Amino acid sequence: RIKKRASKEGVDYKLEIKKGASDKEIIEKANEFDFIVGSRGRSGWRYKLRYIFRELALSNLEKELIAESIVPFLMVGD
């Protein structure tokens, strides 16, 4: 649906899905995109403890992308 809308509006659109990509891989490729959406998943222990230990609320990837301000970044999963 998004691809069809992008084509209709004349917007250059590229979607890349990389399951299991490392933080390093994502950061290295970040400059190729205008927007990144990530999913931390709900099964990991860090995800489950994020409300108890605030230092686990943001992953290393999120912290680095925020600090570098490379591209807009949205983490989903809550």
- Could you report the average pLDDT of every consecutive run of 10 residues in the chain (78 residues)? 83 77 76 74 58 60 65 66
3-class secondary structure, 33: coil
> How many Cα atoms sit within 13 Å of 73 on the Cβ side?
22
Please tell me the pTM assigned to this model: 0.48
pLDDT for 62 equals 66
Q: Which residues pair with 76 in a beta bridge?
A: 39
pLDDT for 72 equals 72
| Residue 13 near residue 2 (C-beta atoms within 8 A) | yes
pLDDT for 13 equals 78
Pick from 11, 15, 9, 10: nearest CA to 32: 15
